[in-house]
Structure 1
Amino acid sequence: MSQFTHIDDKGNAVMVDVSEKQATTRTSQAEGFVYMNDKTLAMVAEGSHKKGDVLAVARIAGIQAAKKTPDLIPLCHPLMLSSVKVNFDIQPEAGRVRVLAECKLTGQTGVEMEALTAASVACLTVYDMCKAVDKMMRIEGIRVLSKSGGKSGDWQVEDN
Structure 2
Amino acid sequence: MTALCDFAYVAAESGYVATCAACGRTVRTRTTKAVANCRASSTRMTPDELMQAAGVPQAKPVIVGGPGTELKAILQDWLGITADAGCGCNQMAARMDALGPDWCETPAGMDEILAVMQSEHSKRWQDGRTRLPWADAAARQLVRLACRRSRNKARR
Structure with greater Cα Rg: 2
**Would the TM-score normalized by the shorter structure come out above 0.5?**
no
Task: Say which structure, 1 or 2, has more relative contact order (CA 8 Å, 6+ apart).
Answer: 1
TM-score, with normalisation over the residues of structure 2? 0.31
**Larger proportion of strand:** 1
